[in-house]
Amino acid sequence: MSEFKNLFQRELLINLKNFLVLFTFSSFFIISIMIFVFAFGSDFSAIDGLYKPIIWVILIFSITLVSEHFIYNDFFDGSLKELEFLGYSNELIIFCKSFVMWLLIIFTTFFLVPIFSIFFNISLKETLFLFFYIVFATPSLTLISVVSALFSIQLGRNKIIQFILVFPFYIPIVIFTTSSNNIQTTTNSHNSNFLILIGIFFITLPLCLFISRLIMRELNR
* Amino acid 46: pLDDT: 60
Instruction: Give pLDDT tens digits for 115-143.
Output: 888 777 778 888 888 889 999 999 999 99
Looking at per-residue pLDDT, the higher value among 147 and 1 belongs to: 147
**Arithmetic mean of pLDDT, 79-85:** 81
* Amino acid 123: pLDDT: 80
Smallest Cα–Cα separation from 173: which of 148, 203, 149, 147? 203
* Amino acid 82: pLDDT: 83
Cβ-proximal residues to 89 (8 Å cutoff; 6+ apart), any chain: 213
CB-based contact 212:95 (threshold 8 Å): no
Looking at per-residue pLDDT, the higher value among 18 and 133 belongs to: 133
DSSP category for residue 185? -
**Arithmetic mean of pLDDT, 135-157:** 84
**Arithmetic mean of pLDDT, 11-17:** 83
pLDDT at residue 73 greater than cutoff 70? yes
Average pLDDT, the chain: 82
Burial pattern 196-215, b for ≥16 Cβ within 10 A else e, equals bbeebbeebbeebbebbeeb
Exposed (0-12), middle (13-18) or buried (19+): which is 32, by Cβ within 10 Å? Answer: middle
**Arithmetic mean of pLDDT, 197-207:** 92
SS3 127: helix
Share of residues in the chain with pLDDT > 70 (%): 86
Instruction: Give pLDDT tens digits for 22-38.
Output: 888 888 888 888 887 77
pLDDT at residue 183 greater than cutoff 70? no
CB-based contact 151:165 (threshold 8 Å): yes
* Amino acid 137: pLDDT: 92
Cβ-proximal residues to 161 (8 Å cutoff; 6+ apart), any chain: 152, 155
Extents of the domains making up the chain: 2-219
pLDDT at residue 212 greater than cutoff 50? yes
